[in-house]
Amino acid sequence: MTVSVLPRGLRGALAVAALALFAGSAPAQAGKITVYTSYEEDELAAFLDKAKKDLPDIEVDVLRLSTGDLRARMLAEASNPKHDVIWGWAATSMVDPRILGMLEPYEAKGLDKVPARFRDAQNRWFATTGYMGAFCVNNEIMKAENLPMPATWQDLLKPEYKGRLVMPNPASSGTGYLHVASILQMMGEDKGWAFLDALDKNMAQYIKSGSKPCNVASAGEYAIGISFALRAIKNIEEGYPITMVVPSEGAGHELEAAALMKSSQNKADARRFLDWILTRAAADEYNNWKSIVTMSDRVMPERFMKAGLPADISTVLFDVDYAWAAENRDRIVAEWQKRYEK
């Protein structure tokens, strides 16, 4: 597989320099596909390096943009899409009816390894990876101040936690939105907003980044950071004195989905690439980077379980309605801002 990076047309987007190492001469009869993605640069480079070994006769041009920028790009190109495959993109964006209309159903080889909750019933998209919410709890603060270890969302309402919590702002952070959207779904909107009102009374601040609440809790600035699991795992591995807590009600999460474009002029190679996404080789590489790998034959890394994830990740995930989260995003964020932004 030969990989090159297309120029970006949107402000603030940077080329994935790490992918330059994949550039080279394709075989004379090589196929060629264009892939749009929102995977982070480092994990994207690792995934493509693995794919290169298994699909040496496919040349891949990759455009990487953030989820929102990629959404804007796809909608702007709706009348004449420029790519063959979309890969590693938020399911809550993929289920936009305008996007779904661009996708061609394809039952990729190995799709039976992906539980139904992680794929479209009409085979328009499937997700092999994702990320999930978690609390980062500073053990030293909890011990020094004799604070109870939380196990649930409801525990965070305890008066002892007043001024000790931080979480991402859902207006700027996908992690923040997955927390808010999952609370409103699991509790119902009336009870969910009442819970968020009560949680706000204990909140020290809302932070733009999804990872920073965990980082500041790890550094001892706050007792509890509401963040995501992989950030907690990495901080634990780096020696920070934190415990990762997955709320027992279930963790909100976002999937990173893949799909075939109807407009693709290279469907045979695009389908081969989508098949590869579901291989054991791909899953082994996902395991190094992702808290959520959806395939049923996944072997959870020992280091992830040591940090607190179960062997079967599906047992701790809240069953998110991705379409609802997508359809109601603007309304929910506007309501959240009206209530809590000061």
- For the chain, list the domains and their CATH numbers: 2-130+253-302 (3.40.190.10), 131-252+316-340 (3.40.190.10)
pLDDT tens, position by position, 277-325: 999 999 999 998 899 999 887 888 999 999 999 988 889 999 999 999 9
Q: Would the pLDDT of 14 be above 90?
A: no
Q: Would the pLDDT of 154 be above 90?
A: yes
* pLDDT at res. 78: 95
Query: What is the Cβ-side half-sphere exposure of residue 179, based on CA atoms within 13 angstroms?
Result: 30
What percent of the chain has pLDDT above 70?
A: 91
3-state secondary structure 259-278: EEECCCCCHHHHHHHHHHHC
* pLDDT at res. 30: 65
pLDDT tens, position by position, 135-149: 999 999 999 999 999
Q: Would the pLDDT of 89 be above 60?
A: yes
Q: Would the pLDDT of 15 be above 80?
A: no
* pLDDT at res. 28: 36
| Assessment of whether the complete model's pTM goes beyond 0.85 | no
Which own/partner pairs from 115-124 qualify as long-range (CB within 8 Å, at least 24 positions apart)?
A: 115/294, 115/296, 115/314, 117/314, 117/319, 118/255, 118/294, 120/95, 124/100, 124/259
* pLDDT at res. 17: 34
What percent of the chain has pLDDT above 90?
A: 77
